Amino acid sequence: MTRGVPQADGSIRAEAVMDVSNVASSVLHMAELPLDANVQFMTVMATKMPFIARG
């Protein structure tokens, strides 16, 4: 993905990426919650990703 993937307009561009430690930190946060608390929704994504659920 960092080398480039086909885009909707036919061009090849690198996709936005992020450090996997951000995802690990989010999972750890959910795991450390008390049993009477819950995270119903959480979206962790690269800040320069243009669309959610694209492709």
Contact 13, 35 (CB under 8 A): no
Domain residues of the chain, as ranges? Answer: 1-34
Greater pLDDT, 7 or 1: 7
Residue 26, exposed/middle/buried by CB under 10 A (0-12, 13-18, 19+)? middle
- Using alpha carbons, select from 24, 44, 43 the residue that is nearest to residue 32: 24
Is residue 55 scored above 70 in pLDDT? no
Taking residues 10-37, report their average pLDDT. Answer: 93
List, in order, residues 6 or more apart from 38 with CB less than 8 Å away: none
Evaluate if pTM is beyond 0.95.
no
